[in-house]
């Protein structure tokens, strides 16, 4: 982009032609007031507070939207500007309810702040008021009398979340924001509420509980999926007598990043342990000493994973992590074939892509914030999005340009077909070229039941596109042929225009896979850390010895953007922690976070103290939290194989998936995100299983007998049902099976 020179308030600045005056000013620490500006979306231009003057130009220019032009001499402050800005603030104050004393936003309200900044101390204009109402939108409510129509909520709902269900209902002074799809599929992500500069959008549960300024902010990371979004727990002592602290809410750096509903509203899952249970602690030590296998879930910090590794070594036990094992196999095979330890893409790169394939994931549920980045690409890059999955997801049909339905189990075939269609063969070795030429597309397309035309159309779909991203999800990690799939995907990343973005199956599966040497299973006495075992340490509070939940811990996680990011303890934990056990076994340290700097450097970690990890974003919203994991290079060997036959999934097939708003047993403990687990299926599924809507049904998944109410969802197609696991307790982390399975459904009673 062309460089231009501008002068703002006497300061000469070099910048590029695509920057707005406001962006350039902010980069140079020049203050221009705004009420409707939100960094992560395109300029809104509603408040008009950011007007500036340009030398030689009549009138006032809107700095948030106007881009700099060469030689412009800009004045951000003058008497005339001040006067108009004050007038605008006076207009905002017209009939704004004088309820700051009890308003949820008081103390952190932009309107309050700017009213004070512009010294609006009297009402020189008046307006006949009208009756306005408060609407309940589920977790949050909308009070139109407090709304200043800045439209930030509308923008994020459309541009970031991709739903576009909030709209301005025009009407001049009567204008309000409406939620056009309240009845269906509002995913309660709370993005709209997070960006509201006033008290118009507020969490019902938070209202009248505290003043915002009394809350202590603890910056941390969301652990519920591998997006690892930035968040802050906001904490306060419960009362005068009760010195215990409580998390009142979660906030985030909404100017730059976003959160999903689970991350924002599922915060109160802490393990309430009141004291150290010395007797049980001794039992735990004994259990570890005799353990032959240590089982755990990958909802665990890197430091604890390292501790478990040390303990396992000490007591000579094997490490089993069911929810990360398949992924660790994937990662090893990928590295070997790719010659690189990690995939190349990030969420930011995804949002800048114009050709996207989503493969092996029900993306809006598995990783809602990844879905947000797809939405950004859809809106901003006019991206073509191909969604390949056995089950279509109508909730994101406005983002998807092409849906390709394949048979469950045929991921390997699909990956091969992608390779064949998109490979730049001239760069390949002769062997690989021969292999790719020999791929029996007819056979594969027949088995996966997609037509050859559909595959050819893929190429057309992406005609003339520039930035390709292939998003790969959790369906492949427990596929029987995961290693071959990993190799094919490695070949795709190497020999096509696609960059890969892999979504690890659980919060820190990537960290765990890098740190620990996992085995699939091992016989003998087992100790479980947040996993079912003979002796169980559980943060859910249902084990032999309690452990801190992740909102009570310090440590680090590795995100799918390959960043090592810090977690801080929102709440204190009063019981014993893993480090105490490690200390008793002679492998611990003073604090768990002493191990941050000891994370394996040969896996890409850096020897950095926990306390020097920062939480920050660039002016353009680049995630600069913690540090970026180094990608380790090695020799690349690609030897692929083609399946002889593909598994078939006939009859009643269930798919393991948790809804975005309640992804795991921890969120199911939180007040706002817990829900009833239902088996949600199609009409065909119902008739194949001979059940009807509302029936209580029983079935078996991976040795667990499950009983649920069955619901029909008319938007689903095929003979499928979606089965959540968030109500299964620790068992939810011990389901090392391919996500689709054929089950026998029994109607109870």
Q: Which residues bind other proteins (CB under 8 A)?
A: 18, 35, 42-43, 45-49, 51, 54, 57-62, 65-67, 69-70, 72, 80, 84, 87-88, 91-92, 94, 124-128, 148-149, 151, 154-155, 158-159, 164, 167-168, 170-175, 354, 379-384, 397-401, 463-464
DSSP string for residues in 600-661 = -GGGT-----GGG----B-TT--B-SSEEPPPPB----------SS-----SSEEEE---TT
Q: How far apart are CA 301 and CA 626, in angstroms?
A: 14
User: Nearer to other proteins by C-beta: 61 or 315?
Assistant: 61
H or E element in which residue 231 lies = strand 230-237
Least gap, CB of 159 to other proteins (angstroms): 5
Q: C-alpha 396: how far from its chain's center? A: 16
DSSP string for residues in 534-593 = SEEEETTS-SSEE---GGG--EEEE-TTSEEEEE--SS---S--HHHHHHHTT---SSGG
User: Nearer to other proteins by C-beta: 271 or 353?
Assistant: 353
User: Nearer to other proteins by C-beta: 129 or 517?
Assistant: 129
**The two structure tokens encoding residue 678:** 């239902």
Least gap, CB of 676 to other proteins (angstroms): 32
Least gap, CB of 83 to other proteins (angstroms): 8
User: Nearer to other proteins by C-beta: 46 or 492?
Assistant: 46
**Percent of residues in the chain assigned helix, strand, coil, to nearest 5:** 30, 20, 50
Least gap, CB of 380 to other proteins (angstroms): 5
Q: C-alpha 32: how far from its chain's center? A: 32
Does the CA dihedral 680-686-690-693 come out positive or negative? Answer: positive
Residue with tokens 């062309």: 2
User: Nearer to other proteins by C-beta: 383 or 527?
Assistant: 383
Burial 80-109 (b: 16+ CB within 10 A, else e): ebeeebbebbbebbeebeeeeeebbbbebb
User: Nearer to other proteins by C-beta: 155 or 739?
Assistant: 155
Least gap, CB of 311 to other proteins (angstroms): 51
Least gap, CB of 169 to other proteins (angstroms): 9
Q: Using alpha carbons only, how large is the chain's radius of gyration in Å?
A: 27
Least gap, CB of 183 to other proteins (angstroms): 17
- Strand ranges in 314-378 using DSSP code E only, listed in sequence order: 318-320, 355-359
Least gap, CB of 412 to other proteins (angstroms): 28
Residue with tokens 């760069």: 427
User: Nearer to other proteins by C-beta: 323 or 392?
Assistant: 392
Beta bridge partner(s), residue 470: 357, 500
Give CA separation, 702 vs 533, 678, 723, 728, 742, in Å.
15, 18, 13, 12, 11
Residue with tokens 């009402």: 123
Q: Tell me the helices (H) and strands (E) count for the chain, helix number first.
A: 20, 33
The torsion of the CA quartet 464, 465, 466, 472, rounded to 10 degrees, works out to -140
Q: C-alpha 61: how far from its chain's center? A: 38
Q: How far apart are CA 642 and CA 441, in angstroms?
A: 10
Kindly give, in sequence order, each residue whose CB lies less than 8 Å from that of residue 281, ignoring residues fewer than 6 positions away: 545, 576, 580, 581, 584
**The two structure tokens encoding residue 93:** 């104050």
Residue with tokens 């801190």: 548
DSSP 8-state symbol, 157 = I
User: Residue 707: phi, psi to the nearest 5?
Assistant: -130, 125
Q: How far apart are CA 689 and CA 747, in angstroms?
A: 9
H or E element in which residue 27 lies = helix 21-27
Least gap, CB of 384 to other proteins (angstroms): 7
Q: In terms of C-beta density within 10 A (0-12 exposed, 13-18 middle, 19 or more buried), how is residue 597 classed?
A: middle
User: Nearer to other proteins by C-beta: 256 or 403?
Assistant: 403
Least gap, CB of 158 to other proteins (angstroms): 6
Residue with tokens 């017209």: 94
User: Nearer to other proteins by C-beta: 120 or 342?
Assistant: 120
Least gap, CB of 103 to other proteins (angstroms): 20
User: Nearer to other proteins by C-beta: 62 or 632?
Assistant: 62
User: Nearer to other proteins by C-beta: 277 or 457?
Assistant: 457
Least gap, CB of 467 to other proteins (angstroms): 11
Least gap, CB of 146 to other proteins (angstroms): 15
Least gap, CB of 196 to other proteins (angstroms): 16
Least gap, CB of 420 to other proteins (angstroms): 23
User: Residue 154: phi, psi to the nearest 5?
Assistant: -65, -40
User: Nearer to other proteins by C-beta: 262 or 386?
Assistant: 386
Q: In terms of C-beta density within 10 A (0-12 exposed, 13-18 middle, 19 or more buried), how is residue 6 classed?
A: buried
Q: C-alpha 747: how far from its chain's center? A: 36
Least gap, CB of 17 to other proteins (angstroms): 8
H or E element in which residue 306 lies = helix 302-315
User: Nearer to other proteins by C-beta: 127 or 601?
Assistant: 127
Three-state DSSP class for residue 156? helix
């Amino acid at each position: 982009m062309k460089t231009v020179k501008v002068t703002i308030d006497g300061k000469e600045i070099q910048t590029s032609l695509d920057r707005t005056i406001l962006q350039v000013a902010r980069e140079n620490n020049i203050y221009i007031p705004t009420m409707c500006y939100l960094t992560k979306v395109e300029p809104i231009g509603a408040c008009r507070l950011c007007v500036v003057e340009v030398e030689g130009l009549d009138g006032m220019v809107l700095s948030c939207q106007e881009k700099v032009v060469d030689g412009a001499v800009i004045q951000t402050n003058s008497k005339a500007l001040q006067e108009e800005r004050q007038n605008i603030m006076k207009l905002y104050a017209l009939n704004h309810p004088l309820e700051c004393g009890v308003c949820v936003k008081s103390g952190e309200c932009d309107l309050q702040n700017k009213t004070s900044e512009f010294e609006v101390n009297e009402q020189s204009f008046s307006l006949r008021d009208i009756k306005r109402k408060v609407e309940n939108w589920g977790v949050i409510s909308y009070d139109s009398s407090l709304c200043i129509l800045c439209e930030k909520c509308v923008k994020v709902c459309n541009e970031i979340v991709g739903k576009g269900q909030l709209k301005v209902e025009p009407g001049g002074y009567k204008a309000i924001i409406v939620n056009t799809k309240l009845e269906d599929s509002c995913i309660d992500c709370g993005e709209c509420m997070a960006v509201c500069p006033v008290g118009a959008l507020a969490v019902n549960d938070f209202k009248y509980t505290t003043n915002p300024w009394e809350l202590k902010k603890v910056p941390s990371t969301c652990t519920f999926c591998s997006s690892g979004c930035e968040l802050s727990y906001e904490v306060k002592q419960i009362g005068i007598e009760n010195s215990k602290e409580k998390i009142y809410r979660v906030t985030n750096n909404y100017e730059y990043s976003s959160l999903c509903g689970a991350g924002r509203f599922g915060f109160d899952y802490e393990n309430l342990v009141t004291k150290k249970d010395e007797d049980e602690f001794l039992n735990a030590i004994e259990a570890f000493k005799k353990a032959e296998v240590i089982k755990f879930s990958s909802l665990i910090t890197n430091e604890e994973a390292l501790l478990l590794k040390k303990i396992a070594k000490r007591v000579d036990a094997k490490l089993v992590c069911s929810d990360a094992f398949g992924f660790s196999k994937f990662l090893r095979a990928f590295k070997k074939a790719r010659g690189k330890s990690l995939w190349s893409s990030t969420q930011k790169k995804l949002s800048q892509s114009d050709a996207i394939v989503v493969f092996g994931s029900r993306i809006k549920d598995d990783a809602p914030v990844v879905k947000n980045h797809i939405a950004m690409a859809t809106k901003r890059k006019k991206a073509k999005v191909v969604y390949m999955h056995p089950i279509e997801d109508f909730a994101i049909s406005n983002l998807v340009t092409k849906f390709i339905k394949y048979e469950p189990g045929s991921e390997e075939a699909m990956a091969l077909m992608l390779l064949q269609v998109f490979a730049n063969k001239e760069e390949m070795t002769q062997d690989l070229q021969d292999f790719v030429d020999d791929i029996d597309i007819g056979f594969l397309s027949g088995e996966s039941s997609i037509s050859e035309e559909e595959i050819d159309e893929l190429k057309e779909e992406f005609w003339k596109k520039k930035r390709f991203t292939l998003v790969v999800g959790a369906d492949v990690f427990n596929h029987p042929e995961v290693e071959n799939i990993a190799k094919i995907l490695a070949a795709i990343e190497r020999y096509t225009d696609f960059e890969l973005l892999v979504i690890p199956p659980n919060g820190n599966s990537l960290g765990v896979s890098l740190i620990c040497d996992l085995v699939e299973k091992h016989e003998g006495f087992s100790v479980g850390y947040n996993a079912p075992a003979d002796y169980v340490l559980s943060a859910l509070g249902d084990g032999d010895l309690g452990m801190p939940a992740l909102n009570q811990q310090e440590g680090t996680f590795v995100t799918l953007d390959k960043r090592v990011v810090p977690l801080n303890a929102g709440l204190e934990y009063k019981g014993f922690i893993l480090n105490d056990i490690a200390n008793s076994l002679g492998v611990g340290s003073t604090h768990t976070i002493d191990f941050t700097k000891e994370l394996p450097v040969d896996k890409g970690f850096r020897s950095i103290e926990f306390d020097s990890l920062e939480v920050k974003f660039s002016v353009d919203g680049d995630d600069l939290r913690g540090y970026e994991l180094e990608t380790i290079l090695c020799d690349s060997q690609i030897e692929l194989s083609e399946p002889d036959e593909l598994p078939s999934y006939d009859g009643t097939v269930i798919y393991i998936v948790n809804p975005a708003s309640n992804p795991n047993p921890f969120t199911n403990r939180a007040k706002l995100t817990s829900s009833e687990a239902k088996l949600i299926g199609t009409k065909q599924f119902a008739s194949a299983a001979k059940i009807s809507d509302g029936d209580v049904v029983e079935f078996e998944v991976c040795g667990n007998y499950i009983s649920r109410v069955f619901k029909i969802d008319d938007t689903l197609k095929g003979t499928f049902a979606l089965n959540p696991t968030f109500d299964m307790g620790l068992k939810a982390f011990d389901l090392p099976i391919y996500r689709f399975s054929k089950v026998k459904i029994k109607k109870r009673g």
